[in-house]
A and B are shown apart, each in its own frame.
Chain A
C-alpha cells in the first residue's frame, strides 16, 4: 500500500510546473556557475604553479604560496578571498598571507569584495531549499481542502503509512534533483582535462552530497510539518517562506552582527603595546647587539658569535610579534565561534560550516596552512643560525620546499560530525512533530 502512495506522490510531483521550473533554474545555475568557477580555479592554479617556478626564494627571503583547493569549484568558501603568498625572513613572519604583489600593493581585490560567489553550495542552500518548500507545502493541506484526504483514509490505510508514503515519495523527487545537479556539475568538471580529482576528493564530494541531502531533508520535514499543522495551503506557504527567509538570511546575519558587537576585539594600539611588552626583556640587549653588529659590518670584520646573536635576537623579536598576532587571530576565531554558536539553530549555517570543512575551503584549512608556515619559518631561522655557526654545513644543506600535512579525509568527516548530527536531529524532530500532529489531525 505504501508504495502505491510513494509512486503516486512521485508522479504528482514530477509532472507539476513547480518541479519543472525549479529543476530548470537549478540546472541552468549549476551549469553556469561550474563553468565559471572552473575557469577561475584554473587561472589561480596556473598562477600558483608559475609562482612556485618563477618567483623563487633566495637565502634571505623565502616565498611560500598557498595552493588553491580543487573543491573550491563547488564550494568557494574562503578560498578565493584569502591571500596566496607569504614572504618569510628571519626578521619577520607575517600573520596573514597577501596577494602576489605583496603586503603593500595587493589591495585591488577590494573592488570586488562586495560580490559573493554563486556555486554549488549557493544553489543547494538557496534555490533547492526553496524548491523543496514549494514541493511539500501542500502535501497534506491540499488533500484536505480537496477532500481527498478523508477519502483515502476511509480505505484501509493507516495514517502513519500515508504520511510515510508521502514523505518517501517527495524525498525521492528532492534527492533526484539534488543528484542530477551534482552529476551535471561533476560531468562538467570531468570533461575538463586540466582538473584532476584524487580519490580522497571523491570521498569528500560524496560527503558534500550527503550533507546537502540532509540539509534539504531538514527543509522537507519542516514543510511537511507546517503542511500538517496549517490547514490552508496558501497560509502554509506564507509561513514557510517567512521561516525560510528568517533561517537563511535574517537569523545568520543577526548572529554575526551580535557576535561582532558582543565580543570586542583589541584595538591596534593595544596590539602594538603587547608586542612592545613581549619583547621588553630583550630590548636592551637587542639595541646593544644590533649596534655592535652594525659597527662590525662597517669595519668589515664580524665575529661569528655576534652575528649569531644578532640573528637570534631578530628572530625572537619576530616570534614575539607573531605570538601577539596569533593571539589576536585567536580573538578573531573566538568571535567567529561565537557567531557560529549563536546561529546553531539555522540549518543554512550548519550546512555552510560542514561544506567548507569538507571542501577544505574553510578557516580550518587556512589555520592548518598557517601552522605549516610557522614551522617552515622556524626551519628557516635554524638554517640562518647554522650559517653563523658552521658555514660549511650551511652551504651543504638546503632549506626544504614548503609543505604542510594535508588533513585526512576521515578526520575531515569526523570534525563535521556535530553538523551532521544536529541536522539529522532537526529532521528527526520535525518528522516526529509532523507525525504526531498528523495522527491527531482532524481530517474532515
Chain B
C-alpha cells in the first residue's frame, strides 16, 4: 500500500531546523515523525465525503456532464458529417472530369480534338474517356416507319447525340440488349444507332433480333443497341446516339462538344492539370476543364461549419461546470470546518486535508466525464441513426473525456482544498461543530 508522501509536503508545513539536542535524551523516536495516510484510506475518506450528499453531487457534476457531452458530440458529429460528405463525393462526381471549349476561347470549332479520348486514355489514372456532342439535326424528326400514320404518332423529335466508342464506358452505361458501336462504325461512318431506354420505348422497339431500323429525316439507321442505364449524362437515355464519324459525315459535326473522362479515385486533381497540355499543348487555355470539388475541402468545410459553435458551447459549459465544482467544494469546505478541525486534531497534516478535498472534486469531474462521454456518444449515434449516416467517433474522445473531467475537477478543487488545508485547527474546531 503506497503512502501519500510528500506530494503536498511543503504545503504551509513549518519545517523548522531541528535543535542539536534532538532527539531528546529520553529517546522516543517512534512518537515523532509525520502522520501518514494510506492511499486506500484517502480514497475511502474522499468517497465518504462525496457521497454524504449524493443529490448535491449530482447537481454539481451536471455542468461538467453537459460540457463534456457537448464536446464529445461535436467532435463525433463533425467527423460523422465530414465522412458523409466525402462518401457521397467519392461515388461518382469525384472521378469525373469534363473538358469543353473555353467560352472565351479564341479558336473556332474543334477546341477539343477528335482523338481526345485516345490521348487521354494514355494518361495514368484515366479509366475511360469518350467524346459526346449534341448533333444539330435541324427540324428532322425520328421515326420507325416511312409511312405516316395519321392515327398514331410515328414521328418524334429526339435529341441526337454523337458519341465516341469510349463514352459508354466513361458514363458507366449498361445495355438492355444489343451491343455498343465500335471504332469501325465511326471510321466507316456506318448508319447505326444506339437508343436510350425511353427513346426505344417511345419508338416501340423492344428487341433487336429483327434488326429494327429508324429514320432520322430520310436516312435509315440500324438500331444495334438499347441502353438500360447510365451513371452520368442521364440525357443519353432519351436520345438517339450515333457514332461520331457518322455525325461528321451526315450532319457536318465540326468538333466534339466535350470529352467526358472517368478517373481513378483521387487522380482527378492530377489528371485535370495534365489534360490541357495533353489535348492542346499549343493552346492549353482554349479548354475548360471541369473537375469536381475536392473531397478534402468538403471535409474541412463541414468541420468549420459545425465545429466552432459547438466547441465553444462545450467549452463554456465546461467552464460553468468547473465554476460549479469550485463553488460547491468551497461551500462544502466551509460546512465541514468542524470536520477539518477534528481531522487535524486526530493527526491529519495539511496535505492530507488538501488531498482529500482535491480527490473529492477530481472524482466529481471524473464522474461528470464518464456521464458526459456516454451522453455525447449517444447523441452522435442518435443523430446518425436519424440522418442515416454512419457514426464516426475517434475512440480516444470518449476515453479522454473522464480524464479531462478529472482535470477540470482537480483545477476547480485547488482553491477550496488550499482553503481547507490552510485552516488553523484551533479555529476550525471552535467554529465548526
A-B interaction: no
A positions within 8 Å CB-CB of B: none
